[in-house]
Amino acid sequence: MSGAGARYKVLGAGIFSLLLTLGVARFAYTPLLPLMQQQAGLGLADAGWLAAINYAGYLSGALGASLISDLRLKDRLYRVGMVVAVLSTLMMGLSTDPVVWAISRFVAGLSSAAGMLPGTGLILNWLIRHNHKSELGIHFAGIGLGIAGCAAAVTVFSHWLDWRAQWFAFSALGCILLVPALRWLPPPDTSGVTQTGKTMQDQPPSPLYLKIFMAAYFCAGIGYVVSATFIVAIVNKLPGLAGQGNLVFLAIGIGAAPACINWDLIARRTGDLNALILAAVLQIVGILLPVLVGGLVAALLGALLFGGTFIGMVSLVLTMAGRYYPTRPAKMMGKMTLSYGAAQILAPAITGTLATRFGSYNAGLYFAAAAMVVGTLLLLLLKLVERRELGPMRVPV
């Protein structure tokens, strides 16, 4: 196979792995949440806790990834994670016991981490080793496609299938996605040089830079998870928008699908940190539009902005991490995701509690937007630290 053909096949493995672990195993829960509340008796607070448990699994997986340097072990964990994604999805339809659902969500979180960290790290390592651009925009398109696909599938399935049958349908879809996710990613090369003989060397950032970066990414995790988890339920309860939640969730996926490729191009022109700051500001607007303006047009525009920015931020951050650690890219990726994941444990539980107290999820959106404002300020501070401590030669390009 030609170099370009091999590249697209490897990137295709990444897309299918994210469709499976982030789309089916994770994001199917969001459009199915209202249906489970109506048909399976899932309460507002319980819905929040299940989302928090999912992110606890994701955080546990991120912690494991940050501690593992062996590429072969990461490859095995990636492959196990793909299978676990299918099994965790199947579990959701096999029971109405909240304990079983909680176990499913935790295990699904582990599988999501396998796709996002070892999987992404392996793909970035392959790209760098084979002298391709170290950009992950095409790879991360799988998340947006997964969101849009899940929203569209639930909209179609709901005409014929109840909540349980839809989980079974997603399990069957997961089995199909499993094949290219496993077969198209080659075993990792563990040598210390690229194909042209160039030595691969890690150039980690300073401790201060990393701490501020992790704090900013924690805020981004809050900004992401509230809308990603509750947007369908939020929109369905807004005046005049009953039943439109899945359409808005579909718009998030449509916005997200090309977003990472777009942000790769923006980052080439502006630099990674400037691109992150721009994405954060646009995401704040996207989060607040549905509740501040109201109406379907504002909700859809907000969804497109949110979808077009949150995954772009993830892509940019993980790409930067991989450039700092080309020989073991999941090392810093895992640390950053620990911060992002910690926010995703706290924020859904807080949002569920706020929803129970105030009778809606709107307060959660204001909470998420405030966190994003703080995160934006931290990114601006990071630019000052970059100038003072890292210098132009140390900044990833």
Q: Hey, how many other C-beta atoms are within 10 angstroms of the C-beta on 325?
A: 23
Residue 371: what are its φ and ψ, rounded to 5°?
-60, -40
- For residues 354 and 366, the answer to whether their CB atoms sit within 8 Å is no
Q: Would you say residue 191 lies in a domain?
A: no
Please report, for residues 120, 134, 208, 249, 273, the alpha-carbon distance to residue 395 in angstroms, rounded to integers and kept in the order given: 21, 14, 14, 36, 10
Q: Would you say residue 196 lies in a domain?
A: no
Q: Would you say residue 111 lies in a domain?
A: yes
Q: Would you say residue 12 lies in a domain?
A: yes
- Asked whether residue 199 carries a pLDDT value surpassing 50, the answer given is yes
Q: How far apart are CA 232 and CA 185, in angstroms?
A: 34
More confident residue, 37 or 229: 37
- Asked whether residue 393 carries a pLDDT value surpassing 80, the answer given is no
Q: What band does 240 get if pLDDT is binned at 50, 70 and 90?
A: confident
| Per-residue model confidence (pLDDT) at position 170 | 96
Q: Hey, how many other C-beta atoms are within 10 angstroms of the C-beta on 226?
A: 30
- 3 state DSSP class of 237: coil
| Per-residue model confidence (pLDDT) at position 294 | 76
Could you list the residue range(s) of the whole structural domain that residue 166 is in? 3-186+203-390
Amino acid at 254: I
Q: Would you say residue 238 lies in a domain?
A: yes
Taking residues 324-352, what's their average pLDDT? 80
DSSP 326: T
- 3 state DSSP class of 293: coil
With residue 169 as reference, give the H or E element that holds it.
Answer: helix 163-183
Output b/e per residue, 257-289; b: 16+ Cβ within 10 A.
Answer: bbbbbbbbebbeeebbbebbbbbbebbbbbbbb
The tens digit of pLDDT for each residue in 78-99 reads 999 999 999 999 999 998 888 9
Q: What band does 196 get if pLDDT is binned at 50, 70 and 90?
A: low
- For residues 186 and 10, the answer to whether their CB atoms sit within 8 Å is yes
- Asked whether residue 204 carries a pLDDT value surpassing 90, the answer given is no
Comparing C-alpha atoms, which of 341, 322, 323, 312 is closest to residue 121? Answer: 322
Q: Would you say residue 197 lies in a domain?
A: no
| Per-residue model confidence (pLDDT) at position 397 | 39
| Per-residue model confidence (pLDDT) at position 181 | 95
Q: How far apart are CA 375 and CA 281, in angstroms?
A: 10
Q: Hey, how many other C-beta atoms are within 10 angstroms of the C-beta on 236?
A: 18
| Per-residue model confidence (pLDDT) at position 125 | 83
- Asked whether residue 33 carries a pLDDT value surpassing 50, the answer given is yes
- Asked whether residue 127 carries a pLDDT value surpassing 70, the answer given is yes
Q: Would you say residue 38 lies in a domain?
A: yes
- 3 state DSSP class of 193: strand
Q: How far apart are CA 315 and CA 141, in angstroms?
A: 10
- Asked whether residue 359 carries a pLDDT value surpassing 80, the answer given is no
CATH of the domain at 207: 1.20.1250.20
Domain count, the chain: 1
Taking residues 52-62, what's their average pLDDT? 86
What is the chain's alpha carbon radius of gyration, rounded to the nearest angstrom?
20
Q: Would you say residue 86 lies in a domain?
A: yes
C-alpha angle with apex 289: 253 to 280, nearest 5 degrees?
Answer: 70
- Asked whether residue 386 carries a pLDDT value surpassing 60, the answer given is yes
pTM reported for the whole predicted model = 0.77
For the chain, what is the mean pLDDT?
86
- Asked whether residue 182 carries a pLDDT value surpassing 50, the answer given is yes
